[in-house]
Amino acid sequence: MKPHSEGLFLRLIALAVSLVWFLSFPSAFAQSSQVAAEWALFNQILMIGIVVGIVVFGLLFYAIIRFRERPQKLGEN
Amino acid sequence: MVSKTHAIEILSILITSVVLGYIGLIAGINLIAVDTPPQGSLHVKVIARQFYWTFQYANGSKITFPNGTTRTYPTGLTIENVLYAKAGDVVDLELVSMDVAHSFFIYELGVHIDAIPGHDNHYWLRADNPGQYKIECTQFCGTGHYTMIGQLIVSP
């Protein structure tokens, strides 16, 4: 990885981490009872989990397909 | 030398663990914050008995009544079946039962919490709109269960 793209990658990670952190707060704390707040928090974490899961596993499957080692054909070598 | 496939496997496990750990940490921190009632909230101990509710306000409680007057009770106050609150203020409830299992239910506010003998349940709520709300017991607690009805009066 080139130094320029490495810096960009780190900045993207920092952005994702802070976005997840700050997005998990607002609506849960605006609720008018503890149960409603807990449900709101659950929904937020669920949504964040789904988005993060899609991104992480998407990247993972991409890496597996892109960089997999193909078995050597018989007769090679 | 780690092969490329193994490197992907190790990396994927590491990334997934870090991401799940981070989300779990956020959920835990926020859950504790959400479950803690804000400072300055009105602390009321709700005692459930066959077949009525007793509301014990903590020492120094400031209670607003429906006629608009607000009084401070340095030694607390005990009222049966009626819970007073001010619109927008957080009420920190501590529920306990003296006999059998009961359940504290306010339909309009979506509040539903069990009162179990020997176990304190903590719960906070905030009524944003003034009015009168019916408090019911939704756990069958005996022959007079249907009479176990209280009232939450929220003053503007």
The distance of A75 to chain B (nearest Cα, Å) reads: 22
In a domain, A72, yes or no: no
pTM across the whole model:
0.74
B3, B4, B123 ranked by CB distance to A34: nearest: B123
Cβ separation of A67 and B110 shorter than 8 Å?
no
- Total of domains in chain A: 1
The distance of B51 to chain A (nearest Cα, Å) reads: 25
Q: SS3 of B95, please?
A: strand
Structure tokens at B118: 């020997």
In a domain, A32, yes or no: yes
Homologous superfamily of the B42-155 domain (CATH): Cupredoxins -  blue copper proteins (2.60.40.420)
* Interatomic CA distance for residues B36 and B121, integer angstroms: 13
pLDDT at residue A75 in the model: 66
Domain residues for the domain of A31 are: 3-67
In a domain, A56, yes or no: yes
* Interatomic CA distance for residues A36 and A56, integer angstroms: 30
Residue spans per domain, chain B = 1-36, 42-155
State the complex-level ipTM: 0.73
Instruction: List pLDDT tens digits, range B114-143.
Output: 999 999 999 999 888 899 999 999 999 999
In a domain, A76, yes or no: no
A20, A34, A56 ranked by CB distance to B125: nearest: A34
